[in-house]
Structure 1
Amino acid sequence: QESPEGDDVARRLLGSAAQLAYDPAVEVDWETPLDKEFHGASPEWSSLYGTAYWGELTEAQRKELTRQEAASVASTGIWFEMILQQMVLRDIYMKNPAGAEFQWALTEIAEECRHSIMFARGAQKLGAPHYRPRRAVMELGRAFKTLAFGEAAYAAILVAEEVLDVMQRDWMRDERVVPFVRTINNIHVVEESRHMKFARDETLKRLEGAGWARRQINAFVVAVASYVIVTSMVNPEVYRKAGLDKKRALAAA
C-alpha cells in the first residue's frame, strides 16, 4: 500500500542519492597491491580477539586473520544483499512506477548491486577464497527471500544493515585497516544510511494497527533471521586460510 508519507520519505532519499553517491569502480583503489602490513578489519572485531589463542598469534597472523574475516563478512553481505534485492523487487512489483517509493526502491537495488560487486572485488583483493554461509543457511535464505513480506522482510533487512553499519563505522576510522577497505566501508556506511532509513520507515508503517499475535510472530521470525545473519558472518574456513589450527580456533572463538 503506497502512502503520501512513504512517498515523502522516498523523495528525500532520492534527493540524497542524487547529491551523494559513489561509484566503487573509480572511488576504490583497486590497482595498488595489497599491503600486508595492514589489518583487514579492526583487530578488536576479530572473533579471536581477547582469547588465549589470540595472545599466541604473531602480528602477521593477526593481520592475516582480520583480512580473511573481513572478506568473510563481505561475502555474507553479498549473500544478504541478494536476498534484500529480491524481497524489495517483490514488494514493488505491483506499485506505480511513477511513484517515488517505486523509484527509490530501484535506486536502492542499484546501490546494492554496486555494493555486492565492491564486496566481491574487495574480498578478492584481500586474497580470500569464496566464502559462503553453510548450505542449510543458504537454503533458509532461499526460503526467506521467497516467503518473507511486509514488516518481517523490512525488519530483517534493517537488522542486517545495522550489524554491518556498526562494524564498518569502526573499521573506516581505524588507521590500522588497509586503506582500500576503509574506502569500501565509508561508501557502504554512507549509502546504507539511506537504506536503513527506508527499511525503518517501512517496518513502522506496516506495523501500524498490527495486533499482538502478528507482532509476536514477526518478532520470532526476525529474531531467527538475526541469529542466522550474525552467526554467518565469520566462516570457519577463515582460520585454516589464515594458517591457524581450525579446531582450536573454533573452540576459542
Structure 2
Amino acid sequence: MASSTVRPEDQDRTDEHDVARRLLDSSAKLSYDPVTEVDWDTPLDKDFHGASPEWSTLYGTAYWNELTDAQRKELTRQEAASVASTGIWFEMILQQMVLRDIYTTDATDPRFQWALTEIADECRHSIMFARGAAKLGAPAYRPRRAVVELGRAFKTLAFGEAAYAAILVAEEVLDVMQRDWMRDERVAPFVRTINNIHVVEESRHMKFARDETRKRLRNAGPLRRRINAFVIAVASYYIVTSMVNPQVYANAGLDTRRALAEAGANEHHKSLMRSSCSGLMEFLASARLLTRPALALYKRAHLI
C-alpha cells in the first residue's frame, strides 16, 4: 500500500506557495496608484509639517526650543524629504537584489510572480517618494559617496538571508515612523497619503522578507550565520545613519554645525529609534542574527 506521508520539503514548498498566493491576492485587492491617490496639484501649504515633530532629529533639544514654528515645520519637511530620498536609494538596491535572486527560478511559481509584484510596487513607491520630496521643496538628497559605493557592492554581492534581512530592516524602520506620520493631522495631507500607501503595501513586503529570511537560514551553519549577521548589521547601520542628510539643516536655514552636534546627542531621538525597532530586534534574535559584532553596530546606530 502506498504511503500518503508528505515529505517535509514538499510541505515547506506548499506552504511557501500558499503564502505567495495570499500576498498576490492581497495585492490585487488592496493596492494604490500614487498618480491618482496623492493630491499632487494642490500647492504646498507651509502651515503643515513634513513629519511628526517628535520624529525630528532636533526635537527636545535646546536648539529645537529656540526655533520658530515656521523653522520647525521647514526642518521636518526637509527631514521627511531626506528619508524619502534614502528610501528611493535603498528601494533601487532592493529591486536589483530581488531580480537577481529570481533570475533563474520557475516563472510559474507564485513566489516568482510575487517577487515581480513587489518590484512593481517598489518602482511606484520610488516615483511617489521622488515627487513627494520635490513637492516638499527639497533637493535630491543622497547618502555620502562612500555609502553609495558600498550600496553598489551590497546589491551585487548580497544574497539569501543577508539580502532579505537587510530589506526587512530598511522596511521596518520606515514602517514605524510612517505609521506615526500618516495619523498625524499636523503633517501635510499629501505626505500622510504617501505614508499610508507605503505602510499598507510594505506590510506585504515585510511578510515576504521575514519568510524568505527564515527559509534561507533553515540549513545555515554557525559560521554562515555569524558572517551574514554582521553583513546585515553593516547594511542596517548605513541605511539608518543615512536617513537624515546633514544638508537638511542648511536647507532649513539652520546652523549645520550646531544642529549636527545637538542631533548627535539627542537622547529623545535615540530612544525613539530603539523603541520603534523592538519588534525587529526580536525577529533578528529569533533568527539568531544578533551576534556580538552585530549588536555593537545596532547599538551604535541606536537601534537597540
| Deviation sequence 1:199-246 (CA, Å, 0-9, x none) | 000000110021111111111111111110100000000000000011
Alignment match of 1:125 (pick from 124, 128, 135):
135
Which amino acid in structure 2 is aligned with residue 159 of structure 1? Answer: V
Q: Read off the aligned partner of 2:68 and give its amino acid letter.
A: T
Instruction: Report 1:175-194 matches (<5 A).
Output: 175-194=185-204
Give the whole-Å Cα distance in 2 for the aligned partners of 1:53 and 1:207: 46
Which amino acid in 2 is paired with 1:22? Answer: Y
Deviation at 1:89, TM superposition (A): 0.1
Whole-angstrom distance in 1 between the partners of 2:140 and 2:169: 24
Q: Which has the higher contact order (CA 8 A, sep 6+)?
A: 1
**Aligned counterparts, 1:13-32, within 5 A:** 13-32=23-42
Number of matched pairs: 253
Please report the RMSD computed on the Cα atoms of aligned residues, expressed in angstroms: 1.0
Aligned pair 1:138/2:148, yes or no? yes
Q: Which amino acid is 2:64 matched to?
A: W
Unpaired runs of 5+ in structure 1? Answer: none
Q: What is the deviation of 1:5?
A: 2.3
Matches within 5 A, 1:214-253: 214-253=224-263
1:49 lines up with 2:67 in the alignment? no
What secondary structure sits across from 1:3 in the alignment? helix
CA distance in 2, matches of 1:238, 1:7: 44
Letter in 2 for 1:58: T
Give yes or no for the alignment of 1:94 onto 2:112.
no
Tell me how far apart the structure 1 counterparts of residues 109 and 173 of structure 2 sit (CA, whole Å): 30
Identity across matched positions, percent: 82
| In structure 2, C-alpha distance between the alignment counterparts of 1:105 and 1:155, rounded to whole Å | 15
Amino acid at match of 2:100: R
Structure 1 runs of 4+ off > 6 angstroms? none
- Corresponding residue number in structure 2 for 1:150: 160
Letter in 2 for 1:174: D
Quick one: distance in 2 between partners of 1:81 and 1:23?
17
User: Structure 1 length as normaliser, TM-score?
Assistant: 0.99
Shift, 1:109, TM fit: 0.3
Bigger Rg, which one: 2
Counterparts of 2:99 and 2:232, CA distance in 1: 20
